[in-house]
Amino acid sequence: MKTFVMPAAAAAFLLIGATAQAQGPMMYQPSPYIGGDALFWELDPDGPGNFDSTGLRLRAGVAFNDYFALEGHLGTGGSDGPVDLDYLAGGYAKGMLPITPQFKIFGLLGATEVEFDGADSESDISYGAGASYAIGPNVSLDADWMRYLEESNYDFDAVSLGATFHF
C-alpha cells in the first residue's frame, strides 16, 4: 500500500494542474485553498492502553465546484510516552454538501501514509467527515474527524480544528 500513496498524490496534483489550465465560459473556476489545524490524534491498539497527543496539520486543495474537491494533508507532532507521530501524508477526494451559504458538511476518502517514531511507515485507505463555517468571503473555520489507519492490531484517528483561506 505504501507504493500506492505517492503515485496517487502525484496523479492528483497533475489533475489539479491540468484542470486549473482549462477555461471556458460555462466552466466553474477551480478554487484553491490552504488551511492549518490543531491535530488531536489517538493511537488505539487492540491491547490495553491508548496513546494520544496534539500535533499540527496543513491542508491544501482545489474545489472544482460546490460539491467536489481534491485535498492533501501533511501532519506531524505530538508525543505520548513511547509513541511520537513523525508524519502523516495523504490525498483525498472530498465530497461537500452546502447546508446554507455559510455552512457545509463534507466527507473525505483517500489514502494516507503514517510513520510513528521507531516504527516502519504504514499506509491505508482513510476516511472522515467534517463541517466548515465561512466567517468571511475567503476564510472558514473547520472541524473534522479522520480514520487515517485501520490496521489489524490498532486504529489511528484524529480530530482537527482549524481555519482555511480560500483564494
Q: Do 144 and 71 form a contact (C-beta atoms < 8 A)? A: no
CATH number of the domain at 13, please. Answer: 2.40.160.20
What total of structural domains would you count in the chain?
A: 1
Q: How many Å apart are CA 127 and CA 139, to the nearest integer?
A: 24
Domain containing 6 equals 2-166
Which set of grid coordinates corresponds to residue 140? 472558514
The whole-model pTM stands at: 0.81
The per-residue pLDDT string of the chain (167 residues; one tens digit each, 9 = 90 and over) reads: 444 444 454 444 444 444 444 444 556 789 999 999 999 999 988 767 788 899 999 999 999 999 999 999 999 998 877 789 999 999 999 999 999 999 999 999 999 999 988 788 999 999 999 999 999 999 999 999 999 999 888 899 999 999 999 99
The whole-number pLDDT of residue 82 equals 79
Mapped onto helix, strand or coil, the DSSP state of residue 45 is strand
